[in-house]
Amino acid sequence: MKIKDLRKDFIDSLSSLYEADEILSFFYILTEKILGLKRVGIAMALDKVVEESEILHFIHARNRLENQDPIQYIVGDTEFYGLLFKVDKNVLIPRPETEELVDWIIKDCKSKEGSRKIKILDIGTGSGCIAISLAKNLPEAEVYAIDVSEEALKIANANAVHNNVEINFLREDILRLDALEDVFDIIVSNPPYVRELEKQEIKPNVLENEPHLALFVSDQDPLIFYRTITSLAKKNLVAGGLLYFEINQYLGIETKNMIERYGFQYVTLCKDLYNNDRMIRAVLI
């Protein structure tokens, strides 16, 4: 079978489940992984014959896509902020909105004069994408990362090794901590924030595969993680320290008001590339 025939069969078999552009995106991700051909090279290799063993890999991936498995879990990794991260069902798949949060922190740090060593804490690190990206781009920083999941921390540690950065990983249940053992210049978190009532907005490939522990909060107390982390940050940030959150787009004002009630100042609500309220930065004076 030639690549052009493989592509047609792949698109036809998934057309009832996904949009055409999304199917093509899946196909090009797989051609790079299985055939070693990037998207730009496919056009010049459409008549290349695909080996039987390679076709079997495509069939396996297609079957998993038909089962609504995320393509990132199928290939085993994904790119985030220019770095490669291993992902599986124990961690959320990093998303572009979180890249914006990382970019905000890096730009804030680089805009300050001097290069003194700073301490950063990432709470609910998952795959480690935030902590590792910050450590990679802010070599003067000492980075710590917390997660409640032992399996997630294994993935995060492997990602730190792969990306050649040193992270201090800690297993903690943030909801059970009264205080942290150290003080930090920056605390950042992308905690669970999707309310149960919003499940209907979640695509099946996310809802049925990604860890609910990292996604959902109760409708009765949707800001539980934000309130807990803000309280800890009040005790464990240095004067002038910064608190950053990725947030639920529907609860931007509520989250901002809550942080202000804890005495933080210059609380800035920022929209993401889709024009949704998505990030907050606050200063502890």
The predicted-structure confidence for 206-228, as pLDDT tens digits, reads as follows 888 899 989 999 999 999 999 99
3-state helix, strand, coil in the chain (%, to 5): 45, 20, 30
CA 246 – CA 130 distance, rounded (Å): 11
The DSSP secondary-structure symbol of 23 reads H
pLDDT the model gives residue 179: 87
CA 124 – CA 214 distance, rounded (Å): 8
Query: Any idea how long the chain is?
Result: 285
Stretch 121-135: mean pLDDT:
98
Stretch 87-102: mean pLDDT:
97
Q: Does the pLDDT value for residue 193 go beyond 70?
A: yes
Instruction: Give this prediction's pTM.
Output: 0.93
| Percent of the chain whose pLDDT exceeds 90 | 89
Stretch 36-63: mean pLDDT:
94
Q: Find, among 86, 85, 62, the residue nearest to 13 by Cα.
A: 62
pLDDT the model gives residue 115: 59
pLDDT the model gives residue 178: 87
pLDDT the model gives residue 113: 60
Termini Cα distance of the chain: 65
pLDDT in tens, 255-270: 999 999 999 999 999 9
pLDDT the model gives residue 112: 79
Query: What residues does 280 pair with on adjacent strands?
Result: 245, 269
Q: Give the pLDDT band of residue 200 (cuts 50, 70, 90).
A: confident
Query: CB-side exposure of 188: number of CA atoms within 13 Å?
Result: 28
Q: Give the pLDDT band of residue 172 (cuts 50, 70, 90).
A: very high
Stretch 45-65: mean pLDDT:
96
| Percent of the chain whose pLDDT exceeds 70 | 99
Stretch 39-66: mean pLDDT:
95
Average pLDDT of the chain is 95
Q: Collapse the DSSP code of 178 into the 3-class scheme (helix H, G, I; strand E, B; otherwise coil) and give the result.
A: coil
283 or 199: which leads in pLDDT: 283
H-assigned helices in the chain: 3-14, 20-30, 39-42, 52-66, 71-75, 96-111, 129-137, 150-162, 204-207, 224-236, 252-261
Q: Give the pLDDT band of residue 166 (cuts 50, 70, 90).
A: very high
Average the pLDDT over each of 12-26, 133-147, 192-206, 232-246 and give the range with the smallest value. Answer: 192-206
Q: Does the pLDDT value for residue 114 go beyond 70?
A: no
pLDDT the model gives residue 204: 85
> How, if at all, do strands 184-189 and 118-123 pair?
parallel
Question: What homologous superfamily does CATH list for 89-283?
Answer: Vaccinia Virus protein VP39 (3.40.50.150)
Q: Does the pLDDT value for residue 181 go beyond 90?
A: no
Q: Find, among 75, 39, 55, the residue nearest to 2 by Cα.
A: 55
